[in-house]
Amino acid sequence: MTALELTGVTKSFGDTTVVDELTLTLPDGSLTVLVGPSGCGKSTTLRIVAGLETADGGSVHIGDRDVTKESPRRRDVAMVFQNYALYPQLTVAGNIAFPLRNAGVGRAEAAARAAEAAERVGISGLLDRKPRQLSGGQQQRVAIARALVRTPSVFLFDEPLSNLDAKLRVELRTEIRRLQQQTGITALYVTHDQEEAMTIADQLVVLQAGRIAQSGTPEELYRCPANTFVAGFIGSPSMNLIEGQVRGGSFESGALRWPAPGADGAVVFGVRPEDLVIEPDEAGEGRLDLIELLGPRYALLVEVGSHRLTAVVEAAAVAAWETPPGPGVPVSVRVRAGREHLFDAGSGKRRQD
């Protein structure tokens, strides 16, 4: 297994800095996911690791090798792209075996290793087909098998599931995770889908304007976001973030009054939708505005004065209400004890008091 290390990596296009002094270590055998909004630098970072972009500054090490100035083919990385990048004139077997044949591996050995890789991703019965005869999910499995066949030092995945429907995305992200764990090959995975990122990552890295906003395990970022940017980006539906004041152990913002620890002052109060408790109450401060069924749960949009809050409530709990849920129904709104998140109103950083 091989670790990957980026130190002070910088990349600009014209006057725009896309990657800004980025330092990151991917432990041996880990799967690290870069996530963030469009333009945050995640794909550029991955392309720098691959050697497809040249960094303006900093270094890239794969294991004990400094590969900063080496060509892509000398870095021993395998990349899976969003658009599959298959050769239309070759069969599935030919596409999978292509990197081996290009490296001088004999025809018989390349064919055997291609067949083995195809079996690992569940496409053994498709070896004689051309890409045009395959579904999108099958084509992506071919691309993954082609990456697997060389047993590289590092896997690089550039939004590999973006072109697939929701059911296939779930299926293939599970397969990618399983294969990465089986091979023990260090992997860097780029996606804009934070749910996908949370599901497969050992290490999750949130990028903001080319810098690391926070890194850690998915649970660490979800339970303890470092700032309002991470708090609002990680989680679906997004965390509710409300500006207000803490006074004497209570958070106040318009009609909202919730217990809040720490020193008095201006804050941004954060609460996850699943940590809001919504109950029908004729004297309640809130009103239901929109109700969406999400299988076993409801997403409720609640208006409290000028604030619009999103809550996620178990469908069974809503079914037990004496008042059927609907627009205009009065409700009380409270926060589960200890589930609040407080951020400094000026810097957006998590409060430590």
* Alpha-helical runs (H) found in the chain: 42-50, 92-102, 107-120, 136-148, 166-183, 194-200, 218-223, 228-233, 315-319
* Residues 307 and 244 sit within 8 Å (Cβ to Cβ): no
For the segment 237-259, the average pLDDT, to the nearest whole number, is 95
Q: What is the DSSP letter of 349?
A: B
Domain boundary assignment for the chain = 4-231, 237-344
Strand-pair partners of 13: 16
> Average pLDDT of the chain?
93
pTM of the shown model:
0.90
For the chain, state the CA radius of gyration: 24
* Residues 117 and 145 sit within 8 Å (Cβ to Cβ): yes
Q: What is the CATH number of domain 4-231?
A: 3.40.50.300
Residue 353 has pLDDT above 80, yes or no: no
**CB proximity list for 112: less than 8 A, separation 6 or greater:** none
pLDDT over 90, % of the chain: 80
Nearest Cα residue to 60 out of 79, 76, 39, 40:
76
pLDDT over 70, % of the chain: 99
For residue 102, what pLDDT is reported?
85
Give the three-class secondary structure for 271. Answer: strand
Residue 309: pLDDT band (50, 70, 90) is: very high
Q: pLDDT of 45-100, one tens digit each?
A: 999 999 999 999 999 999 999 999 999 989 999 999 888 889 999 999 999 999 99
Domain 237-344 indexed as CATH 2.40.50.100: yes
